[in-house]
Amino acid sequence: MVKVENIMTHLKCATHGRQKETFVCKHIIETMTDGEARGFCWGVNDKVHEAICDQCNNLSEADFSKQASDLIRPLCFGCFRQAAEFNGIILE
């Protein structure tokens, strides 16, 4: 019998404990520390939540992928929801 592996990765957050891993730009991490809204353009890519700020959303795709390794950081899903709330977005 074929077993479907759960490939979703988890990480351990100091605040939220074991959570699903999401990916956000580093400016959203800054929003987590200073509570300042920087925009929250989010989506779900292959069941993984991702979000970038307005500034990153305005970059061309080429520019973004050039800087992606510097820009993109993992974040726990609990923090992801909190960052969304700072921007007035309520996630389920």
Contacting positions for Zn ion (CB under 5 A): 13, 15-16, 25, 27, 53, 56, 76, 78-79
Nearer to Zn ion, 16 or 20 (CB): 16
Q: Which residues pair with 50 in a beta bridge?
A: 23, 43
Q: What is the nearest approach in angstroms of Zn ion to the Cβ of residue 28?
A: 6
Q: What is the nearest approach in angstroms of Zn ion to the Cβ of residue 39?
A: 8
Nearer to Zn ion, 20 or 78 (CB): 78
Nearer to Zn ion, 27 or 49 (CB): 27
> In angstroms, rounded to a whole number, what is the distance separating the alpha carbons of residues 69 and 33?
21
Q: What is the nearest approach in angstroms of Zn ion to the Cβ of residue 55?
A: 5
Kindly give, in sequence order, each residue whose CB lies less than 8 Å from that of residue 84, ignoring residues fewer than 6 positions away: 40, 42, 51, 90, 91
Kindly give, in sequence order, each residue whose CB lies less than 8 Å from that of residue 55, ignoring residues fewer than 6 positions away: 27, 38, 39
